[in-house]
Structure formats: structure tokens, C-alpha cells
Amino acid sequence: MNEFLLMQMVAAERLCVAHESKQVVLSELKNSLAGASGEQRTASLLKRELDLPGAIFLSDVHMPYKEGNAQIDLLLVHAAFICVLEVKNMIGEFYFDSVNFQFHRMIDGRREGMRNPEAQLHRAVKAASGFLGVPVHGVIVLASRSGKVVEAPKQYPVVSLDYLPFHLEQLAHGAKLFNVATITAKLQGLPVRNTNRHWLERQKITLDSLRLGVTCPTCRNCPLVWQERKWHCDGCEFTSRDAHEVTLQEYAVLFGNKLDTRVAYQLLGVKDKYVLYRLLEKSAPKSNVRGKRQIIENRDLLRAYFGRVYK
């Protein structure tokens, strides 16, 4: 789960039902989960079955391209070739119109126009080639066995996930063209792209639009109450001493690691300042600025929490 997917999960769970972007956020999250599942299956298969010693995989890479960025699902770097993988975890019959460069699929008798994977891949290949200064291959990967290509694209191959290892192995002809360490070092030096603020603004998400409080991990929509040095759920009798740490990470993934102490009272739903200070002592210690705290980043807490929710 990358940072953006975690942000979508937090927003989907915390947004008030009546919020104007609630359904849009849920729909986008559904698509992101499908995409992440396909990319995870692809990466797992390649690590297990690809016979290319020394190959390096990088996921969710954002390459500078013209005045913006191009997002790459998976990038394979090998001494003999570099390849961009555009992973699609979709079902239905797929039609690539190479004349007008449009794309649609047929599913349950319905025609659905969608973003053209070939155009997305072409943009990513151009970005990678331009940034690295070397030729780059591209392939569209069908991660679902329930997808079928009826009209194929002209510029790039489309391969099923099962066949992908063989396709990639055929791209390696033995000659070492690239220094893998140099290429990966350049890629890892790319700045982390922060899409949070833009996405939050587009969806009109602010702290006031969210359900605050420490969420019960069992009921999920029920706020916990701090009593006798524990968090208690009145609905299912769940108790915990550190459930607030997930809440702090949820805030941080949306709004950043800096936390105003006045906001912390609202966020955790406590009123006693001594209780608040004890809760924040380790997870969000005081910063050098009066009234400000710094949340210690620990996204694995969110991955564990949402891993149970979306398993």
C-alpha cells in the first residue's frame, strides 16, 4: 500500500456520509484497490518465476515528463534492457482503436469508454527514456484471466500475466547494455511526489469534513472512549492502550506529520490535557515550536489496520 492508497482508504472511512465527494472517493478507492492487487500479483509472479538474474523491480515510479509527471506501475531494470509495465486488472473484452487512439471494453453487453492503456504506456515509456537517456521497452500486462483482447494495440504488446515472464526473458539477448546500479541510483534519487494536497483540494476534504475520534478497529465507525487508562468501545467491548496511534497516522497521511495541540484534542476526542500529553508523549512528541507536535511516521500501523479491512 503506497501513501496515496492509504490516503484514499482513510478518506473513504472518515468522510461523513453526506459529504459531496463521498461516493467519488469510494469509487476511486475501488479502482485503486483493483490496480494495486494486479500490480502486487504481477510483482510476486515475476519475483517467483522470472529467470533474469540481477533484475531490479521498482513500483509506483513518478518520472518527470514535460511540465508534469508520468506514473509508472512497475519498472524492470536489467543489464540487457529496461521495460515499463502498464498493469491492468480489468475484466471484459478490450478494443484498442489505433486510428483514433481510443479504448473501450465490453462487459455484460455494455460498452464502456476508458483511458487508453496504450496512450498511458506510451507516455510512461517516453518519460522513462527521456529521464534515463536510454531506449526503453513497454508492455501492457493483463493481470486478470477474465480479460480478453479483441482488437490489439499497434505500438505495444499486450500479454497475459501468466505469459509475462517468458515475454520479458525474450527481451534479454545476453548483451549487457546498462549498468543496473547506476540506473537504479538515478531512479531512487527522484524526489517523492506528494499528491496529497492536490487530491484533498479536488475532493474538498478538510478536517471539518471528517469523522474524528479514535476508531474502534472492530466496529470501525464507532469512536472509542478513554477510561481507566484504556480505550473502550461501548459497542463491542473492545479495549486497547494504543489505538490512538493508528488515528495519528491517519491524520499524518492526510495532512502531514505536524500536529497542532489544539487539533489533537479534537482528533483524539479527549479533554484532559494531562491525558492528551500522555497519549502523545511517544507517538507525537513536542517540537521546537510552541503548541506544535511532530507525529513519528509509522505507516506500517495503517497497512496492518487496512490490511485487515480490505483483505
Chain centre to alpha carbon of residue 45:
19
The answer to whether the beta carbons of residues 33 and 310 sit under 8 Å apart is yes
All cell numbers assigned to 310: 480490505
Q: What is the pLDDT of residues 51-67, one digit of tens each?
A: 988 888 988 888 888 87
Residue 73: phi, psi to the nearest 5?
-60, -60
∠ at Cα 108 (163, 147), nearest 5°? 5
Q: What is the dihedral of CA 18, 20, 25, 26, to 10 degrees?
A: 40
Q: Contact 7/199 with Cβ under 8 angstroms?
A: yes
Mean pLDDT value of segment 21-32? 90
- Which 3 state secondary structure label does DSSP give 295? coil
| Reported confidence tier of residue 194, pLDDT bands at 50, 70, 90 | low
- One DSSP character per residue, 52-105 reads -TT-EEEEEEEEEETTEEEEEEEEEE-SS-EEEEEEE---EEEEEETTTTEEEE
Place 128 in a pLDDT band, splitting at 50, 70 and 90. Answer: very high
Cα 267 from Cα 285, distance rounded (Å): 16
The kind and range of the H/E element at 125 are helix 117-132
| All structural domains of the chain with their residue ranges | 3-188, 212-309
Q: Are 134 and 82 in contact (CB under 8 A)?
A: yes
What pTM value is reported for the model? 0.74
Q: What is the pLDDT of residue 190?
A: 82
208-237 pLDDT per residue, tens: 999 999 998 888 877 899 988 999 998 888
Residues 6+ apart with CB under 8 A from 222: 215, 216, 233, 234, 235, 236
Mean pLDDT score, 291-301:
91
Residue 38 near residue 48 (C-beta atoms within 8 A):
no
- 3-188 CATH pick, 3.40.1350, 1.10.357, 3.30.70, 1.10.10: 3.40.1350
In what helix (H) or strand (E) does residue 141 lie, and over which residues does it extend? strand 137-142
The better pLDDT of the pair 173, 206 is held by: 206
**Residue 258, CA distances (Å) to 244, 283, 296, 307 in order:** 16, 12, 9, 25
Q: How far is CA 27 from CA 247, 264, 303, in A?
A: 23, 30, 20
The residue whose grid cell reads 515472464 is 165
Rg value, the chain, Cα: 23
